[in-house]
């Protein structure tokens, strides 16, 4: 299993005070030296964390492949074609959201996604689509010309946390998941089945398969059971753990958990 470490949240902390501390390049170097296989960053339209200069510096100095997440906004795509990352992952984006809330609407934005993929391919940049774990979305991704899909695991992660952690007793409890434990167990099983089926179908039709969003040290073992998933992209939980253990140890521990 390849591990992509998303270092966006180092930039979140930096931007909270608008100073160059912590330095995003220090995070890059530590992650690269601690066993990760790939660096993942998200260049958002509102530049809430990673800035243009960060993206250029990371891609220039990274000893490992860089997976650049981005929207289908044409101005962002122009930057991506100039950056030429190892891979571009097209994701949905809303200015008001705290984090990416779901998969890319590959049906509602077919023309825009098709344009983005063709443009990126013109610059020899492989494309992954960040999608909800459904057979239909997988098939559409293949038809649009993507080489890879990343299955959105946010729903799974929320259910898992409401069932197996103190989330339900916190200020961040997921209102729509305030359900009896037996109901949460049923939903968790359905969510895992959907991810598994989507991964199997993607592999069957020739797509590489990654997964990400909300994955952490407690739930990642469920993804390890799905053989067709060959890459995980994990950020917030690693950076959160690093506050207490240091980034190198946090990356090494996640790499240990994601080694088959």
| Residue 185, token pair as written in the block | 């167990």
Beta-carbon contacts of 13 under 8 Å, excluding residues fewer than 6 positions away, are 22
| Cα dist from 100 to 75, 79, 152, 210, 250, whole Å | 19, 21, 9, 16, 23
Catalytic residue among 42, 49, 152, 201: 42
| Residue 6, token pair as written in the block | 């998303």
Terminal-residue alpha carbon distance, the chain: 7
Q: Tally the C-alpha atoms within 13 A of residue 254's C-alpha that lie toward its C-beta.
A: 34
CA angle at 95 for the pair 89 and 99, rounded to the nearest 5° = 60
| Cα dist from 238 to 48, 188, 219, whole Å | 19, 23, 13
Examine the residue annotation and report whether 42 is marked as an active-site residue of this protein: yes
Examine the residue annotation and report whether 110 is marked as an active-site residue of this protein: no
Of 135, 247, 243, 150, the closest CA to residue 194 belongs to: 135
Examine the residue annotation and report whether 61 is marked as an active-site residue of this protein: no
Beta-carbon contacts of 16 under 8 Å, excluding residues fewer than 6 positions away, are none
**Phi, psi (deg, nearest 5) at residue 186:** -65, -45
Catalytic residue among 49, 69, 93, 152: 69
Catalytic residue among 49, 152, 201, 213: 213
Residues linked to residue 212 through DSSP beta bridges, in sequence order: 152, 233
Task: Provide the annotated active-site residues.
Answer: 42, 69, 213
């Amino acid at each position: 299993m390849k591990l992509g470490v998303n270092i966006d949240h180092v930039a979140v902390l930096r931007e909270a005070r608008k100073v160059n501390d912590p330095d995003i390049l220090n995070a890059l170097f530590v992650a690269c030296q601690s066993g990760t296989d790939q660096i993942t960053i998200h260049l958002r339209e509102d530049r809430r964390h990673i800035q243009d200069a960060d993206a250029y510096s990371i891609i220039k100095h990274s000893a490992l492949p860089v997976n650049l997440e981005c929207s289908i906004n044409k101005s962002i795509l122009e930057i991506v074609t100039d950056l030429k990352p190892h891979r571009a992952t097209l994701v949905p984006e809303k200015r008001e959201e705290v984090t990416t809330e779901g998969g890319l609407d590959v049906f509602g934005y077919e023309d825009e996604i098709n344009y983005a993929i063709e443009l990126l391919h013109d610059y020899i940049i492989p494309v992954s689509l960040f999608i909800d774990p459904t057979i239909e979305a997988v098939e559409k991704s293949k038809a649009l010309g993507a080489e890879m899909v990343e299955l959105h695991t946010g729903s799974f992660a929320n259910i898992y946390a409401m069932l197996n952690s103190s989330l339900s007793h916190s200020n961040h409890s997921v209102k729509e998941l305030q359900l009896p434990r037996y109901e949460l167990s049923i939903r968790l099983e359905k969510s895992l089945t959907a991810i598994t089926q989507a991964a199997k179908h993607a592999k069957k039709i020739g797509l590489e398969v990654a997964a990400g969003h909300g994955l952490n040290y407690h739930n990642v073992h469920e993804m390890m059971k799905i053989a067709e998933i060959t890459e995980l992209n994990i950020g917030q939980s690693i950076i959160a753990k690093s506050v207490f253990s240091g980034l190198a140890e946090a990356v090494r521990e996640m790499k240990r958990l994601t080694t088959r």
